[in-house]
């Protein structure tokens, strides 16, 4: 956490992560999160906690960077004298409007048809999810599933192909889609124990 920062964002979408965990693990995870944001540098030997927390940790880091940029911007603005004063409006027209527009814009309408823009939007979202996945270190998950980053990435692509048309995919943020992917991996087929030499069944079956 940044110095003097007393709060952080815990996204509503995380309910999908917590609801799939037993109460014991959910409790451990939330304590792990609060220890992390309070600079306690928590460590866990539990692969469930480590794998689930990793996505949340990366989102916390991104939020912190946004916060620090805003703080820096506010600092610069303060040095320049703060926000510029608003221009005063006349009493007859306090909101600054000048008559009615000659060609008022029609309200946007929503259709049920899937057009090219929808497809492009889905493909862009898939690409960004994959890019974020590739930028993040998932060594712990590679150990858990006895595999490598390439195989995990291929499995993520198959997962996105399955889920891309769902409302849940459209509504989730990028980081939460990755968390959703890990939960799906666990629910589809439980990973092997880390002391075995075989990879997870869905990894082995994809080769």
pLDDT digits (tens, 9 = 90+) for 26-53: 999 999 999 999 989 999 998 889 888 9
pLDDT at 113: 44
Cα 86 to Cα 63: distance, rounded to the nearest angstrom: 31
pLDDT at 188: 63
pLDDT at 86: 59
* Position with higher pLDDT, 127 vs 92: 127
If pLDDT is split at 50, 70 and 90, which confidence band does 135 have?
A: confident
Cα 205 to Cα 195: distance, rounded to the nearest angstrom: 20
CA-nearest of 174, 177, 137, 136 to 159 is 177
pLDDT at 35: 93
Cα 60 to Cα 68: distance, rounded to the nearest angstrom: 12
pLDDT digits (tens, 9 = 90+) for 58-68: 989 888 888 88
The answer to whether residues 49 and 32 touch, using CB atoms and an 8 Å cutoff, is: yes
CA distances from 199 to 18, 115, 158, 177, 187 (A): 26, 40, 18, 23, 16
Lowest-confidence segment of 27-41, 89-103, 120-134, 156-170 by average pLDDT:
89-103
Q: How many residues make up the chain in this entry?
A: 207
Most confident stretch, 48-52, 138-142, 170-174, 187-191: 48-52
Cα 33 to Cα 53: distance, rounded to the nearest angstrom: 7
Q: Is the pLDDT of residue 81 over 80?
A: no
CA distances from 106 to 98, 101, 102, 112 (A): 19, 12, 12, 19
Q: Give the residue-averaged pLDDT of 73-83.
A: 72
Cα 30 to Cα 34: distance, rounded to the nearest angstrom: 6
Is the model's pTM score more than 0.85? Answer: no
Q: Give the residue-averaged pLDDT of 121-127.
A: 86
% of the chain exceeding 70 in pLDDT? 70
């Amino acid at each position: 956490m940044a110095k003097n920062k007393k709060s952080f964002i815990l996204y509503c979408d995380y309910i999908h992560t917590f609801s799939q965990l037993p109460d014991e693990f959910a409790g451990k995870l939330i304590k792990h999160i609060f220890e992390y944001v309070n600079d306690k540098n928590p460590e866990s030997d539990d692969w469930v906690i480590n794998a689930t927390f990793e996505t949340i940790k990366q989102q916390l880091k991104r939020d912190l960077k946004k916060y620090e940029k805003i703080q820096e911007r506010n600092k610069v603005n303060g040095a320049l004298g703060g926000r510029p004063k608003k221009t005063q409006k006349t009493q007859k027209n306090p909101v600054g409007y000048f008559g009615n527009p000659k060609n008022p814009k029609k309200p946007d309408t929503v259709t049920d048809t899937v057009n090219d823009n929808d497809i492009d939007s889905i493909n862009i979202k898939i690409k960004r999810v994959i890019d974020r996945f590739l930028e993040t270190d998932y060594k712990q998950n590679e150990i858990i599933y006895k595999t490598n980053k390439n195989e995990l990435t291929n499995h993520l692509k198959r997962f996105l192909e399955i889920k891309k048309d769902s409302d849940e995919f459209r509504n989730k943020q990028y980081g939460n889609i990755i968390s959703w992917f890990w939960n799906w991996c666990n629910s589809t087929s439980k990973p092997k124990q880390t002391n075995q030499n075989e990879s997870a069944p869905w990894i082995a079956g994809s080769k």
